[in-house]
Amino acid sequence: MSILFNSTTLGDIIIVTGSVILLLVLIRVFAWNQITGIFEARAEKIANDIDSAASARKEAEEYAAKREKELSQAKDDAGEIIESAKETGQAKGDQIIAEAKAEADRLKEKANQDIAQSKAEALAGVKSEVSDLTVLLAEKIMTKNLDKEAQSHLIDSYLDKLGDA
């Protein structure tokens, strides 16, 4: 304890204490506002960065929701386009089938008309030949005086010739 009361030691304590107090007063007068200003600026910058990050996150979420909505709309539009294309394709296919059926019916009708005309021409030709042969037969019968058996034989040969024609 005697060391504490020593003048050198006591003087050192007073000088150190005074220096610390003087240093605190000088810091308070000249640098305290600047130091607290730096801390306040830093705190404000951190708060602004947090607010900015929050608003950027909110904006990103809005953009994501908007993109999701646009993607959904695009999917719906694509579905409508595909459905429309299917309907158009079906209608076109039905139209092509109807046109093909109409063309087939027209060709069938024309073929039937051609067949009927050919049949009529063939019948007219056969009638002409039959009438020619009948006239020939009648001439032969008239030029020859045939008995009943010869007439029967002549008619049979005429019918055979008619069957061959």
- The rounded distance, in Å, linking the Cα atoms of 134 and 121 is 20
Report if residue 45 sits inside a domain.
Answer: yes
Report if residue 139 sits inside a domain.
Answer: no
Report if residue 133 sits inside a domain.
Answer: no
Task: For residue range 41-89, list pLDDT tens digits in order.
Answer: 999 999 999 999 999 999 999 999 999 999 999 999 999 899 998 999 8
Report if residue 78 sits inside a domain.
Answer: yes
Report if residue 152 sits inside a domain.
Answer: no
Which two tokens mark 63? 């953009």
What count of other Cβ atoms lies within 10 Å of the Cβ of residue 10?
A: 12
- The rounded distance, in Å, linking the Cα atoms of 40 and 5 is 45
Report if residue 23 sits inside a domain.
Answer: yes
Task: For residue range 112-138, list pLDDT tens digits in order.
Answer: 888 888 888 887 777 777 777 777 767
Report if residue 52 sits inside a domain.
Answer: yes
- Global model pTM greater than 0.75: no
Task: For residue range 10-50, list pLDDT tens digits in order.
Answer: 888 999 999 999 999 999 999 888 888 899 999 999 999 99
In the chain, how many domains are there?
A: 1
Report if residue 43 sits inside a domain.
Answer: yes
Asked whether the beta carbons of 130 and 162 are under 8 A apart, the reply is yes
Domain that holds residue 60: 7-125
- The rounded distance, in Å, linking the Cα atoms of 137 and 158 is 7
Confidence (pLDDT) at 120: 83
